[in-house]
Amino acid sequence: MSLFEVSDPQDGPVVITCPPLIDAKATDEFVKLIQPWMKKSEKLYILDFARVTHLDSSFFRPLVLFYQHLKNRSSFLCSINITGPLALIIKSNGMENALSIKSSKEEAMETAGIKTPAKAKFDVKFINPFITATKATFEMQANTPIRIGKPFLKKEDDKVAIDIAGVISLTSPAFHGSIALCFPAKVFLAIYSNMLGEKHETITREIEDAAGEMLNIIFGQAKAELNDKAGYQIQKAIPTIVRGNQLEVHHLVRNIAVVLPFETDAGSFHLEVSTEAS
Amino acid sequence: MSIYADLRVLVVDDMLTMRKIIGQQLKTLGATNILEANDGTTAWEVLERESTVKPIQFIISDWNMPQMKGIDLLKKCRAHPVYKDVAFLMVTAEAEVTQVKEAVGAGVDNYVVKPFTPAAFEEKMKAVYTKRFGAK
């Protein structure tokens, strides 16, 4: 079994996870490992030093040869997870350039000009204004106390079936995306009744715009907070309503959304926020 | 008798739900003469139509609507010799400082940010009424 673990190039750059002990034996193995790559190179090789506790300077010779070879072919060699003592060894051997130390795999990919896939990362400071606005909107405008559940990521295959949703686009110079306020029919009808004192058995055209209006208010509140305090420059938008049995919301930009679940006495509903850098 | 009983009020919002909410709150305050429009263009048609019968005295308008927006309706009113003094309350989800300033600059009498409580709505209604029609 190899001391070095190598990722499948089909999954992106070649990531070589180094063994804890890089001694003469490991160096020999590294020389054999890079032989095929000296003939046919991938765009980027990343050496991951996360497990390394000992680094013998004999390792640097084949490394420099490999680096030169890649450089001549416009390919890249980068290193990640290089900590204090390791960094000192590398520096004292003058190997900073050859190893091209990066803080992450994404940074290494950026160096090689490889587009990184959008991260399923949601900033709490970005999401919190939507939670605050949703709570204020339902409690103040719809006389419906709500409790926030644990936010989660909805991926492409996840099915969260609903009956009605208000959808609005998110556009700013930094990102674009969409928000959807989604209800099962029973919950929507109960909230509508709390809001206007009208009882309805089914969702009709006459009452469906409440989903859009609630979303419009949430959007307006969150937008003001994000624009005034964080300078996002989110643009105005008008909501649209989608309705149907066992509806599923698919965000056009990137079908991953953070789902903010809310609980009412009549059941749960949720807000989906999906964004991607412009 | 309510100070709003004889007032002709025009509620402008593209969302029927919000027109209903505002209408209910106006009725609670004693208003009886309430008209509706779902955008600025329709609101202008109502203004012109009603001016020959009994003019609209008080407009409560949303900002963000298709066709003519609330801010454009406000500017059009203020620029018109007949409607320039109509009481104008903006009820909107647009809560950014720049927008409030824009509305004030265009001559809005007051501004209610959605979501709002009945008490907040009543307070703003009264402030606009007092400004335009005097304290009663």
Domains of chain B plus CATH, in order, are 8-133 (3.40.50.2300)
pLDDT in tens, A259-270: 999 999 999 999
- C-beta separation of A250 from A167 below 8 A: no
Cis bond upstream, residue B115 (ω within 30) = yes
Nearest one of B134, B63, B14, B10 to B74, comparing CA atoms: B63
DSSP line for A203-242: --HHHHHHHHHHHHHHHHHHHHHHHHHH---PPP---EEE
**Are B17 and A210 within 8 A, CB to CB?**
yes
Listed residue (B64, B103, B105, B57) closest to B84, CA to CA: B57
Mean pLDDT along residues A74-99: 87
B115 near A CB under 8 A: yes
What per-residue confidence (pLDDT) applies to B74?
98
Q: Do B15 and A212 make contact, defined as CB atoms within 8 angstroms? A: yes
Q: Is A271 left (phi over 0), alpha (psi -120 to 50) or beta?
A: beta
CB proximity list for A211: less than 8 A, separation 6 or greater: A164, A165, A166, A181, A183, A188, A239, A241
Best mutation target among B19, B25, B96 (most A Cβ atoms within 10 Å) is B96
How do residues A10-56 score in pLDDT, each as one tens digit? 767 899 999 999 999 999 999 999 999 888 878 899 999 988 988 88
Out of B15, B93, B117, name the one closest to residue A219 (CB).
B93
* Mean predicted confidence (pLDDT) in B70-83: 97
Measure the CA–CA gap between A209 and B67, rounded to whole angstroms. 18
pLDDT, one tens digit per residue, over A175-229 is 888 999 999 999 999 999 999 999 999 999 989 999 999 999 999 999 999 998 8
Per-residue pLDDT of B108-120, as tens digits, reads 999 999 999 999 9
Sign, CA dihedral A155-A267-A226-B90, equals positive
Backbone angles phi, psi at A247, to 5 degrees: -70, 150
Rounded mean pLDDT, A111-135: 78
> Closest partner residue to A227 among B65, B92, B96, by Cβ?
B96
Q: Sort out which chain A residues have CB atoms less than 8 A from B25's CB and list them.
A: none
CA-CA distance, A234 to A175, in Å (whole number)?
9
Report whether pLDDT(A118) > 50: no
- pLDDT bin (cut points 50, 70, 90) of residue A156 is low
- Alpha-carbon distance of B108 to B102, in angstroms, equals 9
Partner residue opposite A224 with nearest CB, options B65, B96, B117: B96
Contact B94 A220 (CB under 8 A): yes
Model-level pTM? 0.69
* pLDDT at A119 (0 to 100): 46
| Domain locations in chain A as residue ranges | 5-111, 124-277
Q: Which CATH number fits domain A5-111: 3.30.230.10, 1.20.1250.20, 3.30.750.24, 3.40.50.2000?
A: 3.30.750.24
pLDDT at A107: 84
Of A58-72, A99-113, A124-138, which range is least confident? A99-113
CB of A162 closer than 8 Å to CB of A247:
yes
Mean pLDDT of chain A: 88
Class of domain A124-277: alpha beta
> What's the token pair of residue B7?
């007032």
